Structure 1
């Protein structure tokens, strides 16, 4: 059944069940399946009246909102191709993508409409802009989407897409180089939906919270899977609101990236330390207990009665608090967009939080592999989904993928497509391996592997993941390529660092003075040595520089999914880096 037919089925079969929800100005607004379907058909009718027809492109340039999904579904209704854009994209990125894709109409959030307006003159194919989502004005502007859904234009019958029909062109955020347009079809979507619903426990009425950008294939893909199953999607337009919304939504599923879980992990230890000896002892005891038990189980040894009771106690004392903070009903948390440190994963899993680490790319419509419910290997990317094949190139150690969900190529880029797809296999650009049980183990992006001047290879994400266990470190960027030793740029967790300064009665005028203080540097050095003990000597950070500001999306230093843009960081902090090696 085509995807859009399933949406029509839900509206007819479960008309009053809730489908889409968001919080606006302090109040929740909900759409039932019938209401959502009516709005989808009205948006499709208006698009049709404007002459936007099958195969033509529209863009969605906004933060997460119900309107985002309504427009996406309306495009599917007509067979129109959606081009999603990150809400934080720069004018130059917007101009390039809209020109390259020959976008006819753009749906924008209020803030994003200003960005688009700055390059509109350079976009001859763009015929108009429609505002979506919340707006600061007391009355909605004339070109807001909500005026569309109040009309009664006749809608054509839904287009029943074939497997080869183009669904979307997703431009990679690109940690380096020019974005490439990944072409994904309706067949790719349906293959992805079916493989996930075979592997995961999610069904009609289950709640999902969309906090990651819908413009990224991870969150958008999961949201479409949830809706296909008859789930109830809730939207967060600012990830900073996520913590306050979790207890209200009580989601069964919420997607995360490693950085989010690293921050939760470090926050737990930091808060426990502030509460005093007993709380700090309890969290550390629980961590040691679950890590030991996990190691024993991975070695094939069963836990004895005492160990099981202690595990249950740790889950009750610490795990229950984490679970409650996540809303109390989380069944599992898909985690993608990078590797999660094995120790942090074991901490959550051992305390009853089902973090399903997975591996995927935009080019594979998201997930290739994910953690099973039992028999998982912390530090790995789990096992491949049904109907997905993976293998490792014996010469380069590159992960290769073959699946019905993978792209047929890049839009208007035959050269890049020929490099991506070789003999029916998709070359991921990631180095890794597989163990005897079929667990996929990600090592590093091949282009990000660093070779020191001594010939040793460093996988920076692995090192950064281990350092992220330390509550004092908010962000870490490892430097090692062609260098004699490993160094790091570290953004401290300011609350934790300021608490330390207060504990030793250290006075300072500003944060820059604080991070230059010799006692602070000694303390950071001590924390660094404590956390990196399990790394090989050549992998350990020998020198570091503390930075007064976080790496940001706005400055182009991280992607919207919180991956480091290493080339930007290396250029911006070239002076600080050279000082560590002088």
Structure 2
């Protein structure tokens, strides 16, 4: 693996450009979309090592946004899609991010770069005291560093920096362990901003697998994709139980190609 980051792993020349790669997109189409978005980001002044928020629903557009930010050397701050506005502002201030790439399938280009309004937790604008009280974020990140938000289970969520090499190496481990293979269709109905999801996404991208992200609560869509031939399902225990009950109630035949189910936290 000569790639330096996830974008290079996704776009490498040894992968079939006409094979399904991301949702309904072929690799050729997805690479074209990422290249166009990266060019727009550069034109809008996004520079290497700049921290930029990334927020949006579980859709292919989110993955395209992550790859485009990586392609320009920016540092994506993976914001939870359901994060309250005040918490999102705090995380942006903590990370030193001035803008957010908001992904939306309804947008003409699939994503829009929005400036951080500088609001404080009480809804006012300006620096405010919130920035003083915020936890220190990663300092002087290297280009391509991915910034994750911790779960906050033991207190206020904090930021965790992952180098592009560590993310890529995690993907290589998933691939070498046989968890994600080139012939797989990996179904990801879990929040893509989480560390668990990022590891699986990296594994699928490194493997050259077909990545299919769907919203976590879209049970019907997940069920349909499993019947259409998804081979790997990565989910959380709650959704796994719902899918099992649904199959029992509908008396469905076994999913035709499913070879692995991973239910993590």
Normalised to the residue count of structure 2, the TM-score between the two structures is: 0.77
Closer/same/farther in 2, CA of residues 330 and 247 from structure 1, 3 Å limit:
closer
Say whether residues 1:209 and 2:137 are aligned partners.
no
Q: How many residue pairs were aligned?
A: 234
Distance in 2 (CA, whole Å) between partners of 1:256 and 1:9 is: 28
**Residue 336 of structure 1 corresponds to which residue in structure 2?**
264
**Residue 238 of structure 2 corresponds to which residue in structure 1?**
259
* Superposition deviation, residue 13 in structure 1: 4.4
Q: Is the 8 A contact 2:65 2:103 kept in 1?
A: no
Kindly name which structure, 1 or 2, has the bigger radius of gyration based on alpha carbons. 1
Q: Which has the higher contact order (CA 8 A, sep 6+)?
A: 2
* Superposition deviation, residue 6 in structure 1: 2.4
Say whether residues 1:225 and 2:153 are aligned partners.
no
SS at match of 1:120: coil
User: Which runs of 5 or more structure 2 residues have no equivalent in the other structure?
Assistant: 108-113, 120-124, 128-141
Closer/same/farther in 2, CA of residues 237 and 267 from structure 1, 3 Å limit:
closer
* Alignment RMSD (CA, Å): 2.9
Q: Is the 8 A contact 1:52 1:104 kept in 2?
A: no
**Residue 8 of structure 1 corresponds to which residue in structure 2?**
11
Q: Is the 8 A contact 2:185 2:210 kept in 1?
A: yes
Distance in 2 (CA, whole Å) between partners of 1:238 and 1:257 is: 9
Q: Is the 8 A contact 1:165 1:187 kept in 2?
A: no
Distance in 1 (CA, whole Å) between partners of 2:213 and 2:63 is: 10
Say whether residues 1:239 and 2:217 are aligned partners.
yes
Distance in 1 (CA, whole Å) between partners of 2:51 and 2:61 is: 17
- Give 1:467-546 correspondences, 5 Å limit: none
* Superposition deviation, residue 207 in structure 1: 0.5
Distance in 2 (CA, whole Å) between partners of 1:235 and 1:264 is: 17
**Residue 120 of structure 1 corresponds to which residue in structure 2?**
117
Q: Is the 8 A contact 2:196 2:264 kept in 1?
A: yes
**Residue 47 of structure 1 corresponds to which residue in structure 2?**
41
**Residue 108 of structure 1 corresponds to which residue in structure 2?**
102
Distance in 1 (CA, whole Å) between partners of 2:15 and 2:264 is: 33
- Give 1:79-94 correspondences, 5 Å limit: 79-94=73-88
Q: Is the 8 A contact 1:251 1:329 kept in 2?
A: yes
Distance in 1 (CA, whole Å) between partners of 2:215 and 2:191 is: 8
Q: When you count helix as a share of all residues, which structure comes out higher? A: 1
Q: CA-to-partner distance for each residue in 1:98-157, whole Å, 9 max, x for gaps?
A: 11112232122569x9xxx9x8351769xxxxxxxxxxxxxxxxxxxxxxxxxxxxxxxx
Give 2:56's match in structure 1, choosing from 58, 62, 80. 62
Distance in 1 (CA, whole Å) between partners of 2:104 and 2:230 is: 28
Normalised to the residue count of structure 1, the TM-score between the two structures is: 0.37
**Residue 69 of structure 2 corresponds to which residue in structure 1?**
75
- Give 1:166-315 correspondences, 5 Å limit: 166-240=144-218, 241-264=220-243, 271=249
* Superposition deviation, residue 328 in structure 1: 2.1
* Superposition deviation, residue 248 in structure 1: 4.9
* Superposition deviation, residue 183 in structure 1: 0.7
Distance in 2 (CA, whole Å) between partners of 1:261 and 1:13 is: 31
Q: Is the 8 A contact 1:323 1:330 kept in 2?
A: no
Distance in 2 (CA, whole Å) between partners of 1:58 and 1:124 is: 19
Q: Is the 8 A contact 1:211 1:242 kept in 2?
A: no
Distance in 2 (CA, whole Å) between partners of 1:74 and 1:188 is: 18
Distance in 2 (CA, whole Å) between partners of 1:98 and 1:331 is: 39
Q: CA-to-partner distance for each residue in 1:526-581, whole Å, 9 max, x for gaps?
A: xxxxxxxxxxxxxxxxxxxxxxxxxxxxxxxxxxxxxxxxxxxxxxxxxxxxxxxx
* Superposition deviation, residue 263 in structure 1: 3.7
* Superposition deviation, residue 176 in structure 1: 4.1
Q: Is the 8 A contact 2:56 2:81 kept in 1?
A: yes
Closer/same/farther in 2, CA of residues 323 and 58 from structure 1, 3 Å limit:
farther
* Superposition deviation, residue 97 in structure 1: 0.5
